[in-house]
């Protein structure tokens, strides 16, 4: 039965997404566990919100922790590296166990910040970062901030925001409003990277924010910006 289900998923993926995307998905089944195994930590297991300590009332609008696939993220970041602002500071909104920050450390970011409202996930992210840095010494600054993203004060040096569908439109609207206010205070070029972009229409409705590209690497990444290149 298991093999039959796997075969069905492969066939459906080939029909709907093509050979390359299917290959990447099959590859990810192997490479994701190896990423964790290499460093001896856990960034890959799914965690439901009801198992976590979350003080924010917005927990009802949140989504369980699910990691971004390593191979997809690496291919995507390599592809858009030329779009990144100089001295890029990446902020992962809903960073979970920190996997995106760890992978992004290979792509020349000045600083990597993770915003997360679940206490246990913040602790896991900090632990994983320390292990990763012990294997890969780096001058990149990592910062995990335990906060509801709807209460977070966006900083004037932040110019790349990453999201893997971490919350619904109610929180998304608040976050986008706050980002736009930050841009009024400190004008700058930003990129918003959105994996599994369920709030695409909402983001495009914000004045000055436009979609600059859709990218498919087994999963759907969308990039938005306030600047037209």
Quick check: 185 and 156 in contact, CB under 8 A? yes
Quickly count: other Cβ atoms within 10 Å of residue 227's Cβ. Answer: 13
Overall residue count recorded for the chain in this entry: 229
Q: What is the pTM of this model?
A: 0.89
Supply the pLDDT for residue 93.
98
Give 143: exposed, middle or buried? Use CB within 10 Å, 0-12, 13-18, 19+: middle
- What the block records as the tokens of 217 is 């690497």
Domains and CATH numbers, the chain: 49-225 (3.40.50.150)
Supply the pLDDT for residue 117.
96
Q: Which residues pair with 116 in a beta bridge?
A: 146
Exposure string for 154-175, b = 16+ CB within 10 A, e = fewer: beeebbbbbbbebbbeebbbbb
Q: What are the pLDDT digits (tens) for 101-158?
A: 999 999 999 999 999 999 999 999 999 999 999 999 999 999 999 999 999 999 999 9
Kind of pairing between the strands at 160-164 and 191-195: parallel
Per cent of the chain over pLDDT 90 is 73
Tell the residue number behind the tokens 């001058």, with chain if given. 139
Q: What are the pLDDT digits (tens) for 155-210?
A: 999 999 999 999 999 999 999 999 999 999 999 999 999 999 999 999 999 999 99
Question: Taking the mean position of all CA atoms in its chain, how far away is CA 162?
Answer: 4
The CA distance from 150 to 148, in Å, is 5
């Amino acid at each position: 039965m298991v093999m039959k289900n796997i075969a069905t998923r492969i066939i459906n993926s080939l029909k709907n997404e093509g050979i390359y995307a299917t290959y990447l998905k099959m590859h990810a089944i192997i490479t994701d566990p190896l990423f964790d195994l290499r460093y001896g930590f856990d960034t890959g297991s799914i965690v439901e919100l009801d198992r976590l300590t979350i003080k924010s009332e917005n927990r009802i609008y949140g989504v369980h922790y699910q990691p971004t696939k390593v191979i997809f993220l690496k291919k995507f970041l390599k592809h858009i590296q030329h779009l990144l602002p100089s001295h890029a500071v990446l902020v992962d909104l809903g960073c979970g166990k920190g996997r995106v920050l760890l992978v992004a450390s290979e792509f020349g970011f000045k600083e990597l910040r993770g915003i997360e409202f679940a206490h246990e996930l913040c602790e896991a992210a900090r632990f994983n970062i320390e292990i990763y840095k012990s294997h890969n010494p780096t001058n990149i600054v990592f910062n995990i901030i335990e906060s509801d993203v709807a209460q977070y004060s966006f900083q004037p040096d932040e110019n790349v925001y990453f999201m893997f569908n971490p919350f619904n439109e109610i929180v998304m609207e608040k976050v986008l409003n706050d980002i736009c206010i930050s841009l009024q205070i400190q004008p700058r070029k930003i990129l918003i990277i959105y994996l599994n972009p369920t709030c695409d229409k909402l983001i495009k409705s914000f004045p000055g924010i436009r979609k600059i590209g859709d990218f498919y690497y087994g999963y759907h990444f969308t990039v938005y910006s306030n600047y037209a290149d």
